[in-house]
Structure 1
Amino acid sequence: MDGVVVRRIIPSDNSCLFNAIGYVMEHNLTKAPELRQVIAATVISDPVTYNEAFLGKTNHEYCQWIMDPDKWGGAIELAILSDYYGREIAAYDIQTTRCDLYGQGKGLSERVMVIYDGLHYDSLAMAPFEDAPMEVDQTIFNVHNYGQIGLASKLAERLVGEAHRARKFTDTGNFTLRCGVCQQGVVGQKEAVEHAKLTGHANFQEYS
């Protein structure tokens, strides 16, 4: 299928990673609660792999944490979801233009793509033209020889490069956030994490 790679915007509700994956895997934008359960079940069933050193918290604490709809997902969750669906996940980072490929080297025959701006995940899809409806999106791509998926990856790289040049990303080391609960301002991801630990507040909005 020729066409263009388009960015499908996922709602900013702290579950964007899970809903972005739900969309590219199943064309379903409301998978977050189910996928959080999948991840918690995977982690709790393998405490040796998913130990405190790996998770940054105890296995039990992590499972409670990931079930909280206000908590964000990242690399650990992407790796588990790649295994769960049996497909590679290509996660493109706008700030670095890097592509992290989850499930690589496992002989998986299909790949999906998401894009990350430092705070938020959206889905990437192949559409016949720029404003095509989501119903005609292709989101699952066959992996060919040498781990390539053909035109889709080239178009995705171009889209990511254009977003990078337009600075459509958040520098999480230096961005400014305001706590949506108490309105306190923080700078960078580190301060946001510290504030969340101290107060339990997890609802931040970026401001300039």
Structure 2
Amino acid sequence: MDGILVRRVIPSDNSCLFNALGYVMDHDKHKAPELRQVIAATVASDPRKYSEAFLGKPNEEYCAWILNSEKWGGAIELSILADYYGREIAAYDIQTTRCDLYGQEMKYPERALLIYDGLHYDALAVSPFEDAPEEFDQTIFSVHKDRSIGPVEMRAMKFVQEEQRKRRFTDTANFTLRCGVCQIGVVGQKEAVEHAQATGHVNFQEFR
């Protein structure tokens, strides 16, 4: 494999998962509204599959929720979008160095790569050389017979391990956040969620 593996930073605007995916699939960092519509339509079309037990909330309520640009995506959304694009999506978690693969049971012929730091998704790409323009990025990789993507896979894992060594992740169980609205400090994702539910405030900043 020629080139270098790079992390393409996606803006932190609560839609990073969708925009990171838009970038690796379509070289477009502004796909979030469209991809939220795709997910809502998919979920609404099959209420038996996308039941309250599966979604964690009633089907109709989930569809309204995912269309809200303040809401974050996760595993459910990645699995739906893997099927929508007909490609595997590998999401690398920096804190654990785990790779979650979506769409693998469908044996799709190609794979795209995301990286997750506990709060935020960015895109992974292969660039021909240091500081090359983004239009030269390769973001789709062929899946081989052994279901790997060859040297890119090893390089991605090494990259993630290096990011972990540099502690470029957020420990969501123990991180400290400050509410951007009322300036109250909270510890961990659980407290942040509770504060958001109690107040409606969703603008948190990390501080140490």
Question: For residue 72 of structure 1, what is the aligned residue in structure 2?
Answer: 72
1:192 matches 2:204: no
- Does structure 2 retain, via aligned residues, the 8 Å contact 1:39–1:77? yes
CA drift of 1:199 comes to 1.3
Question: For residue 158 of structure 2, what is the aligned residue in structure 1?
Answer: 158
Question: For residue 82 of structure 1, what is the aligned residue in structure 2?
Answer: 82
Q: Secondary structure at the match of 1:118?
A: coil
CA drift of 1:47 comes to 0.9
Match of 2:73, as an amino acid? Answer: G
What residue ranges of structure 2 are gaps of 5+ in the alignment? none
User: Equivalents in 2 of 1:8, 1:52: separation in Å?
Assistant: 35
Question: For residue 117 of structure 2, what is the aligned residue in structure 1?
Answer: 117
Q: Deviations over 1:121-142 (max 9, x none)?
A: 0000011122211010000000
User: Equivalents in 1 of 2:103, 2:124: separation in Å?
Assistant: 18
Q: Secondary structure at the match of 1:21?
A: helix
Question: For residue 139 of structure 2, what is the aligned residue in structure 1?
Answer: 139
1:97 matches 2:97: yes
User: Equivalents in 2 of 1:108, 1:142: separation in Å?
Assistant: 9
User: Equivalents in 1 of 2:161, 2:150: separation in Å?
Assistant: 17
CA drift of 1:3 comes to 1.1
Calculate percent identity across the aligned residue pairs: 72
User: Equivalents in 1 of 2:7, 2:15: separation in Å?
Assistant: 17
Question: For residue 21 of structure 1, what is the aligned residue in structure 2?
Answer: 21
CA drift of 1:105 comes to 2.1
- Aligned-CA RMSD value: 0.9
Question: For residue 182 of structure 2, what is the aligned residue in structure 1?
Answer: 182
Q: Which runs of 4+ in 1 moved over 2 A?
A: none
User: Equivalents in 2 of 1:25, 1:60: separation in Å?
Assistant: 28
Aligned residue pairs: how many? 208
- Does structure 2 retain, via aligned residues, the 8 Å contact 1:70–1:203? no
Q: Deviations over 1:89-116 (max 9, x none)?
A: 0000000000000001212000000000
What residue ranges of structure 1 are gaps of 5+ in the alignment? none
TM-score normalized by the length of structure 1? 0.98
CA drift of 1:152 comes to 1.2
CA drift of 1:143 comes to 0.3
